[in-house]
A and B are shown apart, each in its own frame.
Chain A
Amino acid sequence: MGTFLGWSITRPSNFAKFAVLAVASVALIIADARHRHVAIAVDGAMARIAYPLQVLAAWPATTVEGVWHDMRTNTRLRHENDRLTRDNRLLQAAVTRLGALSAEVQRLRKILKAPPLPGYRETLAGILGVSSGPFTRELTLDEGRPQHVYVGQPVIDAHGIVGQIIKVGPDTSRVMLVTDPNSGVPVVSQRNGLRAIVFGTGSLRRLKVPYLPMTADIRAGDILVSSGLGGVFPAGYPVAKVERVISDPNEAFLTVTARPLAQLNHHTDVVLLWPLSRTARTHHG
């Protein structure tokens, strides 16, 4: 009694315990990787528990940054104030002269004011965490399902494409960076329209552009912009700058490395894009 195949059930050995839990882990891993819908309930519950912890963990960093920022701003403001008072007297005179021009400028600006990316709606999203675990480089954003974030949604910053949404939770979402080994972005070279795909390498500073024939016209300094071919990223937005092109006669293709243009290391906010066609669908049925 109390044994199974000679193993004690009431007081299992460490090895027996580990064996059972290892099997359970592998089952969970397979369930998560193969049948997302099975694991999604457990995952959602975990994400709910995790959200307050994430916010709590982000708190010291934001506070310290805030205080540091305030202190620096204070000294800078005092110097600036002196300088500005002087400048102000000079500028007062200029303003009177420029008053007439201002009305015209305002009229022109209205004409010029077009959305930065036609066909897309934009929202600023805050970044909660940078790497979401050991050996991964993902961003965690503070926007989730209630904000209509969806899987496959493009994420950009002021300099280039950051990545795409791969997971949407109740309060957060995760971004796969363009530097992720699983990420591939269809691009064209801005100089000559050469088509290529940019893959991540796992390093935040390096991308690779494989499968380019030896005769392809590509050189260091070329800017690669998204081609929009995959249907995920907006066309014409910068992705990477070619750093090195190595032509090795022993290889079938060129070895091309590039640097991502988005500032993947310095983010506090990124921009989420919604194609307008999709927005219309979500809001009208």
Chain B
Amino acid sequence: MDNLTARQIATIAATFAVAILLGVMPTPGYAALLRPDWVAIVLVYWCIAIPDRIGIGIAWLIGLLLDGLYGSLLGEQALAKAFLAYLALRFYLRLRIFPRWQQAVAIGLLIAASDVVVLMTKSLVHGNTPIWGDTVPMMINVVLWPFLFPLLREVRRRAKIS
């Protein structure tokens, strides 16, 4: 429970930077609609792994940066990411002991819940009607988690973050 070293903070920041880059990287045509929410996955991972370091405040700031990048309504992603971090912190002890696939489904549901916040804001402010295609990235999040979890855990162990 010592304070994180600069190196460790840089490691965490780097994982977020990669996730954000993957999130805004232009992809051809329909691949853009299949894009998982990389930032949400990385955020949930750190919330579960070091809940007393990465929490709601950082999630909110990252969400605000995303709003700038996506050009979405300022505060839209911030609200969703803060909500996601809140949910992750609420359930982190349970999530840690779940078997991998159950964990994936549970975290997929948390991210979907935060996506619903985004969709609700959009439909409230712009009157956009959600379409079925919007659920595809939510399912891809679930499929991706079992592969990203070991990767992020490896990063965390090498940086000796605990």
Contact = CB atoms under 8 A, between A and B. Distances in A.
Interface string A13-43: 0110110011011111101110000010011
Contact of A29 (B30, B56, B121, B128): B121
- A contact face: mostly helix, strand, loop, or mixed: helix
A52 to B, nearest CB: 11
B55 A17 contact: yes
B122 A135 contact: yes
Contacts of A130: 26-29, 32
Interface of B: 20-21, 24-30, 32-33, 35, 37, 55-57, 60, 63-79, 82-83, 85-86, 89-90, 115, 118-119, 121-122, 125-131, 133-134, 137
B82 A25 contact: yes
A2 interface: no
Interface string A52-77: 01101110110000000000000000
Contacts of B55: 14, 17
A181 B64 CA distance: 25
A29 B119 contact: no
A54 to B, nearest CB: 6
Contacts of B85: 18
Q: In which size bucket is the chain A interface?
A: 35 or more
Contact of B68 (A25, A50, A182): A50
21 contacts: A14-B86, A17-B56, A18-B86, A21-B79, A24-B60, A25-B60, A25-B75, A29-B79, A46-B67, A46-B74, A47-B71, A53-B24, A54-B24, A57-B25, A130-B26, A131-B33, A131-B35, A133-B71, A134-B35, A135-B118, A181-B129
Nearest to B70: A133
Nearest to B25: A57
A257 interface: no
B83 A182 contact: no
Contact of B128 (A26, A133, A140, A182): A182
A242 B18 CA distance: 43
Contacts of B32: 130-131, 137
A203 interface: yes
Contact of A31 (B27, B74, B78, B115): B74
Contacts of A140: 71
A138 B79 contact: no
A22 B129 contact: no
When A and B form their complex, which 10 residue pairs have the shortest distance between CB atoms, in order from nearest?
A46-B68, A133-B70, A28-B75, A25-B79, A25-B75, A18-B86, A29-B75, A32-B74, A265-B29, A131-B32
Interface in A130-146: 130-138, 140
A28 B83 CA distance: 16
B82 A167 contact: no
Nearest to B66: A133
